[in-house]
Amino acid sequence: GLSRIGLAGLAVMGQNLALNIAEKGFPISVYNRSASKVDETVERAKEEGNLPVRGFHDPCEFVKSIQKPRCIIILVKAGAPVDQTIELLSKYLEKGDCIIDGGNEWYENTERRAETVKAKGLLYLGMGVSGGEEGARHGPSMMPGGTLEAYKYIEEVVTKVAAQVNDGPCVTYVGPGGAGNFVKMVHNGIEYGDMELIAEAYDVLKSVGGLTNKELHETFYEWNKGELESFLVEITADIFSVPDDKGEGELVDKVLDKTGMKGTGKWTVQQAAELSIAAPTIATSLDLRYLSGLKEEREEASKVFKSLGVSEILTEVKVDKQELIDNVRKALYASKICSYAQGMNLIRAKSIEKGWNLNLGELARIWKGGCIIRAKFLDRIKQAYDRNPKLASLLIDPEFAKEMVERQGAWRKVVSLAIEVGVSTPGMSTSLAYFDTYRRARLPANLVQAQRDYFGSHTYERVDMKDSFHTEWYKIAKKLLGDRAAT
């Protein structure tokens, strides 16, 4: 018989997703440009329980082996390889068939491709898939966007293949156009933020609190039983326990402190700027990847300042370990709320710009399982948006606001302590600044407006009257101040 679905591109993600689909009872045809990957996948399907996977070396036979309307998921590197794969497959596809790009693609590429294939009568989806290798194999979080009709073709498949949580499968029809890719992109931006915040917690505990890797393991292991319960905290606990297989101690201490990246976090920050959405925690996490990359420069700088008598840790401070651990936990949690608030606001701004009508609560729900940012507290985010879909910011949801207030004392202590000893906590500090800015009805932006009007006649508004105003600041100052006025 014919296969229910097809998948092209059998690198790590593709192979695992294909096996997952087959395991859920959907016969699948698979294809890859280099034939060895096809054979490898078929071999794995046999080994992992005679799963219904059929491999093809010929793209035409591959396409013809799928039931109509044919749905083919492609999982190749974002960019040109996606275009090439579409071109290859669409030679054999027929009107009504559907292509689903499961990669980390730029949303505008998806919108462009959807238009191109539409001319041939093909449907198109851009589907974010999160969860790495494990997720792909046993249940990822999936973020499909594009033609609703195309989603309907694959709904029964993806709802079985996605991670399952208490309120359903971690997949939903996200929205039209490139909405699925956009949401996955922001997921990755939030992922960058979470990772940076966790790294800062580690740094404070290690560099200020003097925790050993064993204690760090214990700490994260305990944290994962409470409000911070999440995949990233869980794997962090594991990391501290892995010994170095090539020397003494734990492997984490031997890993080079230079972070790589593939680009989705950068796109998130670019989009935040485009849409005038403040996303400082996410932007900071991106900056820290850049700064981490300057390993050699940092080593030089460290020498320069040491020669001036400034050591990397400015002062040894006596801290109560348990108190520090509790404070850092609270600082991490409060900072995380700020970061998610930024990500959600970015999604909403894009949704408004594009008329996508995205449902933020539903997005938080499909992130509860399967994906890299999966966490217990996403259920609370879902509930916050269920309570009030128009919520301006997570920070002012009654429950989150209360939590922020309960943690702010500890948060300020951690940031102050870090500043005092010269250990940077940019993500936690900028999150705190975001919070402190957002909760103030009046900011010093009045002065910025006055300056703009002074030197550029940019005009300003007043707090007490409507209309826009311009003042001859210089003339008045000159008259009043004489020589004291600016020259």
**Known binding-site residue numbers for substrate:** 104, 130-132, 187-188, 192, 262, 289, 452, 458
Q: Are 188 and 265 in contact (CB under 8 A)?
A: yes
Binding mask 73-112 for ligand 6PG (x = CB under 6 A): -------------------------------x--------
Q: How far is the CB of 148 from ligand 6PG (least distance, A)?
A: 24
- Residue 293, classified by CB atoms within 10 Å of its CB into exposed (0-12), middle (13-18) or buried (19+), is middle
- As a whole number of angstroms, the distance between CA 329 and CA 205 comes to 10
Q: How far is the CB of 80 from ligand 6PG (least distance, A)?
A: 17
Nearest approach, Cβ of residue 264 and ligand 6PG (Å): 5
Could you give the C-alpha distances from 311 to 221, 265, 293, 304, in angstroms and in order?
32, 32, 21, 10
- 78, 261, 349, 401: which one binds ligand 6PG (CB under 6 A): 261
**Site for ligand 6PG contains 339 (CB under 6 A):** no
- Tell me the C-alpha distance between 360 and 161, whole Å: 22
**What long-range pairs does 230-239 form, CB within 8 A, spacing at least 24?**
230/194, 230/373, 230/374, 230/375, 230/376, 230/377, 231/371, 231/372, 231/373, 231/374, 231/375, 232/191, 232/194, 232/195, 232/198, 232/372, 232/373, 232/375, 233/198, 233/375, 236/198, 236/202
Binding residue ranges for NADP(+): 9-14, 32-34, 76-78, 104
Contacts (CB under 6 A) with ligand 6PG, residues 10-39? none
Residue 138 DSSP one-character state: H
Q: Encoding tokens for residue 21?
A: 């689909």
Residue 36 to residues 64, 75, 180, 213: CA-CA distances in angstroms?
Answer: 21, 16, 31, 42
Q: Specify whether the CB–CB gap between 157 and 101 falls below 8 A.
A: no
Site for ligand 6PG in 47-76 (CB under 6 A): none
Residue 37 corresponds to which tokens in the numbers above?
Answer: 């990957």
The single residue among 15, 20, 65, 130 that binds ligand 6PG, judged by CB under 6 A, is 130
Q: Encoding tokens for residue 17?
A: 């997703």
Q: Please state, as a whole number, how many other Cβ atoms lie within 10 Å of the Cβ of residue 454.
A: 17
Q: Which of 23, 24, 111, 184 is catalytic?
A: 184
CB 12 within 8 A of CB 41: no
Distance (Å, rounded) from C-alpha 412 to C-alpha 334? 11
Q: Interface with ligand 6PG by CB under 6 A: which range of 124-132, 241-249, 425-433, 464-472?
A: 124-132
Question: Which residue among 191, 196, 250, 403 is the active-site one?
Answer: 191
In the list 265, 280, 369, 427, the residue contacting ligand 6PG (rule: CB under 6 A) is 265
Q: Which stretch binds ligand 6PG (CB under 6 A): 44-52, 261-269, 274-282, 441-449?
A: 261-269
Size of the site for ligand 6PG (CB under 6 A): 13
Given the rule CB under 6 A, which of 255-263, 298-306, 414-422, 460-468 is the region that contacts ligand 6PG?
255-263
Single residue of 186, 372, 410, 415 touching ligand 6PG by CB under 6 A: 372
For residue 343, the SS3 value is helix
Over the window 162 to 201, marking each residue x when it contacts ligand 6PG by CB under 6 A and - when it does not, the resulting string is --------------------------x--x----------
Nearer to ligand 6PG, 104 or 147 (CB): 104
**Cβ within 8 Å of residue 96, ≥6 positions away:** 68, 69, 121, 122, 123
Q: Nearest approach, Cβ of 348 to ligand 6PG (angstroms)?
A: 21
State the nearest-atom distance from the C-beta of 261 to ligand 6PG, in Å.
4
> Least Å distance between CB 305 and ligand 6PG?
30
Site for ligand 6PG in 132-161 (CB under 6 A): 132
**Given the rule CB under 6 A, which of 89-97, 126-134, 337-345, 464-472 is the region that contacts ligand 6PG?**
126-134
Part in contact with ligand 6PG (CB under 6 A); list of ranges 258-266, 308-316, 425-433, 442-450: 258-266
Nearer to ligand 6PG, 39 or 287 (CB): 287
Closest CA to 282 of 187, 358, 419, 376: 187
The residue (of 148 and 261) whose beta carbon lies closer to ligand 6PG is 261
Binding of ligand 6PG by 264 (CB under 6 A): yes
Query: Is 120 one of the binding residues for ligand 6PG (CB under 6 A)?
Result: no
Identity of the residue, 29 or 236, whose beta carbon is nearer to ligand 6PG in the bound complex: 236
Distance between the two ends of the chain, CA-based, in angstroms? 86
Instruction: Measure the CA–CA gap between 130 and 171, rounded to whole angstroms.
Output: 11
Q: Is 403 assigned a catalytic role?
A: no
Please give the Cα distance from 328 to 219 (Å, whole number): 10
Residue from the set 102, 131, 169, 193 that interacts with ligand 6PG by CB under 6 A: 131
Instruction: Give the span between the Cα atoms of 191 and 472, in whole angstroms.
Output: 48
Min dist CB 389 to ligand 6PG, Å, is 25
- The whole-angstrom separation of Cα 86 and Cα 98 is 11
Output 223 or 267, the one with its CB closest to ligand 6PG: 267
Angle formed at CA 199 by CA 195 and CA 203, multiple of 5 degrees:
170
Q: Is 184 a catalytic residue?
A: yes
CB neighbourhood size of 486 (10 A): 10
Catalytic residue positions, numbered: 184, 191
Task: List residues near ligand 6PG by CB under 6 A.
Answer: 104, 130-132, 188, 191, 260-262, 264-265, 371-372
